[in-house]
Chains A and B, each alone.
Chain A
Amino acid sequence: MAYKNYILVCGGTGCESAKADDIYKSLLSAVEANGLESDCQVVKTGCFGFCEKGPIVKVLPDEAFYVEVKPSDAEEIVKENIIKGRLVERLLYKEDPNSAAKKDADEIKFYQKQVRVVLRNCGMIDPENIDEYIARDGYGALEKVLFDMTPDDIINELKVSGLRGRGGAGFPTWMKWNFSKGVEADQKYIVCNADEGDPGAYMDRSTLEGDPHSVLEAMAIAGRAVGASLGLIYIRAEYPLAIHRLEVAMKQAREYGLLGKNILDSGFDFDIEIRLGAGAFVCGEETALLSSIEGNRGMPWPKPPFPAVKGLWGKPTVINNVETFANIPVIILKGGKWFSSIGTEKSSGTKVFALTGKIANSGLVEVPMGTTLREIVYDIGGGIKGGKAFKAVQTGGPSGGMLTTEFLDTPVDFDTLVAAGSMMGSGGMIVMDEDDCIIDVAKFYQEFCVEESCGKCSPCRIGTRKLYDILEKISQGKGQMSDLEKMEEIGSAMKKAALCGLGQTAPNPILSSIKNFRHEYISHIENGKCEAGKCKHLVTFTILEDKCIGCTLCARKCPVNCIAGDKKVPHVIDQSKCIKCGACYESCKFGAIVKR
């Protein structure tokens, strides 16, 4: 069957929740209604990354890139673009309302600095059709390792590539594999860590949803390299679409004999099973993850021995993150040398970031290591939403740190971020603007860590709680300058003494913000002021008598009825009843309410 047009519809979770599935069905029926079934194929594919403007629909070979598509647009896309060959102008992306519409993705700034290695197939193939993956050289790397490479060759290729684990810590992948390979055991395991838990991060979910076979293939390659015959994917139950796509992919791979016994008659056996996690953040830590797979409470155990030597049920276990795995088939096919030519000297390749927060173009972006924060935030992300001022960017979620404007020109890689007091983490990147209060944000992350701490070791269990209590005190204006030292003391103790990565990195947002935003802590403590107006104990809303025209809008919006005043007469807020929700401030059209 020869199709001449393709309509690709995003099938990622983000776009699905914005009715992408209805768009897909509407396109199918529009194609059918116009008798184009044999000419035009509608494909549900993975995330295109430009989530801000989703749902995305792409028409090939015209390369027309339609944004914010609604199910009702399907008929027009088919009638205009497919039948008449004319672009549907109104659905094309515009950088700003007055600029010319951009026809294809290459013209959009969001994509220009991106290099797609991990996301090579996302938005290109139908993730539920193994033939499309195979057509993009899928399972070619498995073929190569089974017939043309020895396990040592595989590990050596990874060594040349310089690939480091994408889960956060950046441990060289080849070393992990080499440790496992070197241990004699009757059974070894390959585990894929898909327990992505940082607030705001969704790189791994999108990779699994858009290109599940790349992870399956890489796990089989790992199995070949270290001598394991079983792989386990530990994924959180909150990712139903990713789980579904994985299940479909595994079934198809088994049918083709690309998983199972005697793969491609090579004598190599490898199969994969899924283990569902209940969504505890600590289970993203490798030893806690293994405890959870074993059926125990998700709690870490002390290292060494490392899982690569003694892991699941005491057997050598290679644990890699989804993104790490997704890189591997390409490295095998194109060579480690090719991979190491991308990125920086000590951090090769690319990194996928989930860009969220107060950014104009939130979405999934993949850039070479060493790209600066400025390029990511301004060139790709389009700067801050609503033209506000940039304040900070948090990399690495609750384990990372807050970076200020002075770090904007820092090239992003594993080592520079650690040097700057943050970390790569799995790749969440949350952008904050002038309206965000640093203490409030630090409190949010600390609260998260308090809830997610498993409680096994006291530095983490008690430390996170203590840090949170001090932050709460400061946000109420009851802090003292000695609290800053106390937090630094507790934080550095946790860094040294906590059992696992969760506790060791939990103080990072606080420590980095004390360093980079000390003045903001001081203003909370000494002046009792929250400049951003987020800490409600430190804010008072007052109505300016000369500006208020008595429209009564604020009084009607106030949820606790604490604003009094007659029509056309200036209103007054009863401060004793005010809950500082800010509803009046946001509703006033005359700028008569001030926040101090």
Chain B
Amino acid sequence: MGKMTLEELRNLRNSAKKEMNKRDTEGKDIEIIIGMGTCGIAAGAKETLAAFMKKLEENNISNVIVRQTGCMGLCYVEPTVEIKAPGMPNTIYGKVDAEVAAKIVVDHIVNKQLVSNHIFDRPAADIIK
């Protein structure tokens, strides 16, 4: 890029800020945790993750941290995703493909509605209880 005008500088700052914002965890209260064990990846967790990132960006949502974790023990419904959001129960979703991921962003994160036909419990926690 050559010499910039004021407007170009502001545009660059806004777009670069979005990227930089992802490094900052302060003020982010929603977590999307994606199971990226072998089972998850084999079932398409990478595509799921990409779908989450895309949808979050499309909707300009910046208060979400996307993390990954190992196998959650629900290998029969991979890819699995756990969502932690204030005012909502911690929820584990199963069989989350790109389409479901997009639905979770819109329904669960934006509109605070559970995506009911994809909810699965965390089995170990149930047994311990």
Interface residues of chain A, those whose CB is within 8 Å of chain B, are: 2-6, 8, 39, 60-63, 82-86, 124-125, 131-132, 134-140, 143, 147, 255-258, 260, 264-266
C-alpha gap A131/B19 in the complex (Å):
10
With both beta carbons as reference points, the residue of chain A lying nearest to B69 in the complex is identified as: A85
Cβ–Cβ < 8 Å partners of A6 in chain B: 22-23
Known A143-B9, A264-B6; judge A84-B22 contact (CB<8 A).
no
B56-89 residues with Cβ-Cβ distance < 8 A to A are 57, 65-70
Cβ–Cβ < 8 Å partners of B67 in chain A: 61-62, 85
Q: Is B94 on the interface with A (CB-CB < 8 A)?
A: no
Cβ–Cβ < 8 Å partners of A131 in chain B: 12, 16
Q: Are B36 and A83 in touch, CB under 8 angstroms?
A: yes
Q: Is B124 on the interface with A (CB-CB < 8 A)?
A: no
With both beta carbons as reference points, the residue of chain A lying nearest to B65 in the complex is identified as: A61
Interface residues of chain B, those whose CB is within 8 Å of chain A, are: 1-6, 9-10, 12-13, 16-17, 19-20, 22-23, 25, 28, 33, 36-37, 49, 53-54, 57, 65-70
With both beta carbons as reference points, the residue of chain A lying nearest to B2 in the complex is identified as: A255
With both beta carbons as reference points, the residue of chain B lying nearest to A104 in the complex is identified as: B25
Q: Are A132 and B16 in touch, CB under 8 angstroms?
A: yes
Cβ–Cβ < 8 Å partners of B28 in chain A: 61
Q: Are A84 and B16 in touch, CB under 8 angstroms?
A: no
Q: Are B3 and A61 in touch, CB under 8 angstroms?
A: no
Point out which of B5, B13, B57, B66 has the most chain A C-beta atoms below 10 A from its C-beta: B13
Known A131-B12, A140-B13; judge A4-B4 contact (CB<8 A).
no
* Number of interchain pairs (Cβ within 8 Å): 91
C-alpha gap A82/B66 in the complex (Å):
12
C-alpha gap A278/B3 in the complex (Å):
35
C-alpha gap A138/B49 in the complex (Å):
31
- Ordered by A's residue number, 21 sampled pairs between the chains whose C-beta atoms are within 8 Å are A2-B19, A3-B22, A4-B49, A4-B53, A6-B23, A60-B25, A61-B66, A84-B69, A85-B33, A134-B9, A135-B17, A137-B13, A139-B9, A147-B6, A256-B9, A258-B4, A264-B4, A264-B5, A264-B9, A265-B5, A266-B6
From DSSP, what is the main secondary structure of chain A's interface residues?
loop
Point out which of B5, B23, B49, B57 has the most chain A C-beta atoms below 10 A from its C-beta: B23
Q: Are B4 and A135 in touch, CB under 8 angstroms?
A: no
C-alpha gap A257/B9 in the complex (Å):
10
Task: Say how far A458's CB is from chain B's closest CB, in angstroms.
Answer: 54
Given contacts A61-B65, A61-B67, A256-B4, 13 further A-B pairs with CB under 8 A are A2-B19, A2-B22, A3-B22, A5-B68, A84-B68, A84-B70, A85-B33, A124-B23, A135-B13, A255-B1, A256-B9, A265-B5, A266-B6
C-alpha gap A6/B22 in the complex (Å):
9
Cβ–Cβ < 8 Å partners of A136 in chain B: 17, 20
Q: Are B57 and A2 in touch, CB under 8 angstroms?
A: yes
With both beta carbons as reference points, the residue of chain A lying nearest to B19 in the complex is identified as: A135
Cβ–Cβ < 8 Å partners of A266 in chain B: 6
With both beta carbons as reference points, the residue of chain B lying nearest to A134 in the complex is identified as: B13
Known A60-B25, A85-B36; judge A134-B16 contact (CB<8 A).
yes
Cβ–Cβ < 8 Å partners of A132 in chain B: 16, 20
C-alpha gap A62/B65 in the complex (Å):
9
Task: Say how far A270's CB is from chain B's closest CB, in angstroms.
Answer: 14
